[in-house]
Amino acid sequence: MYLPQHFAESNIEETHRIIRANPLGMLVRSAGSGFEADHVPFLLEANQGSCGVLIAHVARANPVWQEVRDGDEVLVVFRGVEGYMSPNWYPGKLETHRRVPTWNYEVVHAHGKIHVRDEEKFVRRVVARLTHEHEASQPQPWKMGDAPTDYLAEQLGRIVGIEVILTRVECKRKLNQHHSLPDREGAIRGLESRGNHGLAQAMRDTLKPDGSGNSA
């Protein structure tokens, strides 16, 4: 990934936040005909290994778990907030007209080694944790015990667990850090006027409390 220093996010907690907030990762692997990509909701175990571990499950009918070899190198991409940036939002454009359109975004590239975990205990743990995490905000959270035992066993038999032991994680936050403070604030207002409050907030978070306009 092209990663200029002023867009590189070195705070691992911020990187983990982006993964947790955007758990649907794109799992990229080398295949005989080139590259294959699968879109999988992951859970991050941040305190495992040197860089963390990603766990998930895939359908047993998905050939990915049979085509990968134990320990194969894979890449998992997580996309955060993103959006188009108009030059008209920059006050500096009115002075020099030296501004161009661009796209701001957050993205994490998680590199690691994949392992297939076709064990009922592992799969049950993954499903239980995914359920707990994503049902927590529901008025009446669904839990695995709500399903009939035989039905749940049947469904668990149709999926296979995978884990990716991370070896390197890159995080890019392209949020106008290299622009002047007035231009950054103008861009934030422009995004808010278009309803892109998530990207606007991410950009606001990079402004230092002293108002210097330097990246945090």
Query: Into how many domains does the chain fold?
Result: 1
> Which residues, listed in sequence order, are joined to residue 66 by a DSSP beta bridge?
none
What is the structure's pLDDT at 33?
Answer: 80
The pLDDT of residue 18: 97
| Residue 42 lies inside a defined structural domain of this protein | yes
Confidence of residue 155 (pLDDT cuts 50, 70, 90): very high
The pTM for the full model equals 0.90
Note whether residue 161 is domain-resident.
Answer: yes
Q: Is residue 193 part of a domain?
A: no
> What are 42-55's pLDDT values in tens digits?
999 999 988 999 99
Question: How many Cβ atoms sit within 10 Å of the Cβ of residue 193?
Answer: 10
In a domain? residue 204 = no
Here the CATH number for the domain that contains residue 64 is: 2.30.110.10
Q: Which domain holds residue 165?
A: 5-83+104-177
- Residue 208 banded pLDDT, cuts 50, 70, 90: low
Q: Of 90-104, 183-197, 199-213, which has the strongest mean pLDDT? A: 183-197
CA distance 66 to 117: 11
Flag whether 135 is in a domain.
yes
Residue 205 belongs to a domain: no
In whole angstroms, how far apart are CA 116 and each of 46, 65, 71, 105?
A: 19, 6, 9, 32
- Give the position of tokens 């667990």: 161
Question: Which secondary-structure segment (H or E) carries 34?
Answer: strand 34-41
Query: How far out from the chain centre does Cα 142 lie?
Result: 25
Average pLDDT (82-98) is 85
Lowest-confidence region among 27-31, 95-99, 113-117, 177-181: 95-99
Asked whether residue 165 carries a pLDDT value surpassing 50, the answer given is yes
Inside any domain, residue 29:
yes
Mean pLDDT of the chain: 92
Please indicate, yes or no, if residue 208 is contained in any of the structural domains: no
- 13: which strand partners? none
**Which pLDDT score, from 0 to 100, does residue 209 have?**
60
Residue 97 has pLDDT above 90, yes or no: no
Q: pLDDT at position 210, please?
A: 39
Model confidence at 95, pLDDT cuts 50, 70, 90, reads confident
Express each pLDDT in 119-145 by its tens digit.
999 999 999 999 999 999 999 999 999
pLDDT tier for residue 215 given thresholds of 50, 70 and 90? very low
